[in-house]
Amino acid sequence: MSQLLRFEQVSLRRGGRMLFEALDLEIDPGDALHIAGPNGSGKSSLIRLAAGLLHAERGKVERSRLALADDQLALDRELPLGRALRFWGASSQSLDAMGLSQLGDVPVRLLSSGQAKRATLARVIGSGAPLWLLDEPLNGLDHDGSARLDQLIEKHRLAGGAVVAASHLPLAGDWRTLELGR
C-alpha cells in the first residue's frame, strides 16, 4: 500500500449524531492534511477513527503504522521525563527536537501543560511511524514550540512521511484543508 491512510465512504456516528457521511480521504507520503471545523464538528473523532481507536459506522479505513499525539499524556507521572518517553521508544534526540533536553530528569508530574504537550509530540517524533496524527497540536505550545513543530513536520514530509492534524487554529506551511461540520 503506497498510501498511508485511506478512508472509503466512511460514516461516523457519535452519541446518536452523524458527524460525517460517505467521507473519502487519501493520504500519500509527503501529504499534510489540516482538519478544520468548529468545536464539536468531529475533528478529534476523525483522528481517533484514523488511529483505529473508534470504529466507523459504515465504510472502510486502511492505515499504515502511525503515531498519535492528543491531549492524553500517557507518560508515567512519577518517572523522569526521559525515562518515561523511553518506555515508548522515544530517544533523547526527540527530546532535543522539541526543546526538552533540559527536562530529561524532571518528573513528568512537574511539567507545565505546554511542556507536557511538547512531550506528547516528542513521543510521536521518536516513534518512527510514517503517519503522524496530531489532535490540536498547537494547544499550549508557545511560539518557540510551534516553530519547532512546523520545522519537524516539514522534515518529516520531505522524508516521505505524512501528517494529519486537527486544529481550529491556522497551521503554518502548505496544508490541504478538510473542513468539517458544514
Residues that bind other proteins (CB under 8 A): 48, 51-54, 65-68, 70, 72-76, 78, 87-88, 123
> In this complex, which beta carbon is closest to other proteins, that of residue 139 or of residue 154?
139
Residue pair 166/50 in contact by the 8 Å Cβ criterion: no
Query: In whole angstroms, how close is the CB of 3 to other proteins at the nearest point?
Result: 18
CB of 18 to other proteins, least distance (A): 17
Of 38 and 52, which has the nearer Cβ to other proteins? 52
**Residue 113 beta carbon to other proteins: minimum distance, rounded to whole angstroms:** 14
Cβ neighbours of residue 159 under 8 Å, at least 6 residues apart?
none
Beta carbons of 168 and 67 less than 8 angstroms apart: no
Nearest approach, Cβ of 72 to other proteins (angstroms)? 3
Q: Which is nearer to other proteins, 63 or 148 (CB)?
A: 63
> Phi/psi of residue 61, each to 5°?
-120, 125
Q: How far apart are CA 115 and CA 87, in angstroms?
A: 18
Q: How far is the CB of 167 from other proteins (least distance, A)?
A: 19
Q: Which is nearer to other proteins, 10 or 133 (CB)?
A: 133
Secondary structure element (H or E) that encloses residue 156, with its range = helix 143-158
Distance of CA 48 to the CA centre of its chain: 10
Query: Which residue number, 87 or 176, has a Cβ lying nearer to other proteins?
Result: 87
Nearest to 162 by CA among 174, 147, 148: 174
First to last CA, the chain: 31
Rounded to 10 deg, the angle between the 143-158 and 113-126 helix axes is 10
